[in-house]
Structure 1
């Protein structure tokens, strides 16, 4: 199988810092309106640097500021701090900073921690690639490195109760019901996600298109704050919402609507959100970068142990983090989903959030083939006015941004099992719920097979 190249040279970049214009769409993240941005620092922040376990090396620095959005994707970052895994590897001054929304996280990584922002953190894909190229930062290029995948699954498509009983489920029984909405309801079927041209936008677009519905023509698809979307679902003015845990359970529990599909049903063990850090920070601090990675990896292993899920829920539900009731987080972390609308319940631990391993292999390792899928979908929908113009451009950008080599080095230095360290940068052919396949060796064939696209 063809391999992506691996950039081992330490690229140095100069960044002109400055304010970046705010997004034209106010985005509040995946949990509605969270508290104002807060920063929590390791309780060991005043301790002297400790040895980077596994290598005998001391990190160049002991401090980094990582941003997160309060959804289950952030758990490895939170747990690495709370359970002391960062400290174990010498990173004694890690700050974990709650971001108000994805646009805020983007703007904060542009200005960097030295200017009151962040060094990196949790990202929807392919935000790190777009920030690197200045595509979503008003032309300001801030090179970033993708270092690890944080999670698989943990997302779904919610439907308002108004549309119950119409067959709007995993496979939409009657696409014409949605296409004729403007004629029957006086407006188009309205669907939403929390940030444009990234994960949750991709999931809902794929879901609609798989049933023959064009998300750019047949419906209104918008980026809307979660709280506004949920209110719209209550009043019947918003019909669908691409959302992450713990929202699916809350939507069911509050009788707002039902879940048409879990992303686990659409693409088992799919790539979800990632750890990415500014390239200038990584290039300056390679030992510290690997120490951060080791802490995240060990936290991911801890998170996947069912015996730890109760404590995980207690930690993440706290006010500094997700700020949600324990009973809202518990079902998804047990893999228990009541989908509603007459659909059978899901009761499978592996259908919920997973952080270290799944039935295919590694969750944490950042497969370049997955980066390529996200960029291929970017081409498919002609996002950013075709800034990623072709597959060759996409491959080069993956090689520039994805630092799976650092992941491997960190895993080996930490002494993790060889069986847990992938030997290839591609996970191979991926298969979706509608029978479509993505072969990373032949992404053009994937594009050609899709009936609804902009290219």
Structure 2
């Protein structure tokens, strides 16, 4: 799972920050948050981590805020509480914000997306009953539906959300009409496992950790991850109302800054296990640590014999590490003192025994080029 701050997050922040404003000034003076105490809603999912960690690690305090994460039961509840003002902001489905903006399937209100919280990290799970009939992917599901016509039930989390889009798109890609050949229902993310366990559905699309949890509970398997459908797709966002931003511009800016700091903390791979442990607690996602950690680290098991490391997982910054360890700056100073000639470039390229070219200026491409990966 690629848990990363998207470009839209940075763009959103830049539109809110006045030139020359320093972080330290946000906690006092004219740039002080107009509303320092914030209630930010979230749904129990791995990608709520930025909101939770902003509070747990104290990134909010750095900007003069106190963020209280508010655990919500469903996306409909998040929508209604955002609209009413009961929540100041929320970890929310991208499409939900636009649905409210347009008044689709509910109240209409001007909304604002302040930052992207993550890319990727969702999956479509199919039941073990389907697996017992030979279904392992979209193509075999289409054959099963054709061979045994009946009402097949699939769940998504909110009608205008990304999970509905992934599910419809994936079914249609294999020639399955999601409106005539399937019954699609709405189920809150934490309730997916319980509903599949009692055979209320044949499959569901939801964010992690519930895809991984279905495998651990031996009730389903991963048919496809959403990053396989659309690589590096946008997913959850930090959303609020346009009125909130207009009334509390300093607060909005400080809130995004705190979320950005939390997101950068999560982006550091060495912090992922700690983050998984924190958000696995009952007050947050309320599930086992392993169901969160494995996929957060890019370690996938689809439950039917395939294990892999997600090719969309984060890479170390190879170049930055090399520059930190190789003190070229000191060498250059010494070379100048001794009039020792220097290479034309700090980086070099070399051809190895198999003909593959190592390009020091692009180590990520070199690492990605291997057929055998660990």
TM-score (norm 2): 0.73
Residue aligning to 1:127: 96
Encode CA deviations 1:367-413: one digit per residue, 9 max, x unaligned.
xxxxxxxxxxxxxxxxxxxxxxxxxxxxxxxxxxxxxxxxxxxxxxx
Q: 1:291/1:240 Cα in 2 relative to 1: closer, same or farther (>3 Å)?
A: same
Contact 1:336 1:349 in 2 (8 A): no
Alpha-carbon separation, structure 1, partners of 2:104 and 2:226: 27
Structure 2 regions of 5+ residues with no counterpart? 1-11, 17-23, 318-374
Alpha-carbon separation, structure 2, partners of 1:227 and 1:289: 29
- Does residue 1:270 correspond to 2:233, yes or no? yes
- Does residue 1:105 correspond to 2:104, yes or no? no
Contact 1:181 1:188 in 2 (8 A): no
Alpha-carbon separation, structure 2, partners of 1:322 and 1:277: 22
TM-score (norm 1): 0.60
Shift of 1:61: 2.6
Contact 1:152 1:269 in 2 (8 A): yes
Alpha-carbon separation, structure 2, partners of 1:240 and 1:150: 26
Shift of 1:265: 1.4
- Does residue 1:162 correspond to 2:129, yes or no? yes
More helix by share: 2
Shift of 1:87: 1.2
- From the CA coordinates, give the structure whose radius of gyration is larger: 2
- Does residue 1:181 correspond to 2:143, yes or no? no
Alpha-carbon separation, structure 1, partners of 2:105 and 2:195: 28
SS in structure 1 opposite 2:26?
Answer: coil
Contact 1:51 1:90 in 2 (8 A): no
Residue aligning to 1:346: 308
Q: 1:179/1:326 Cα in 2 relative to 1: closer, same or farther (>3 Å)?
A: same
Q: What does residue range 285-304 of structure 1 map to in structure 2 within 5 Å?
A: 285-304=248-267
Contact 1:76 1:150 in 2 (8 A): yes
Alpha-carbon separation, structure 2, partners of 1:333 and 1:279: 32
Alpha-carbon separation, structure 2, partners of 1:172 and 1:129: 32
Q: What does residue range 48-447 of structure 1 map to in structure 2 within 5 Å?
A: 51-52=25-26, 57-91=31-65, 93-112=66-85, 117-137=86-106, 140-164=107-131, 168-173=135-140, 175-182=142-149, 187-226=150-189, 229-342=192-305, 344-348=306-310, 350-351=312-313
Alpha-carbon separation, structure 2, partners of 1:58 and 1:243: 38
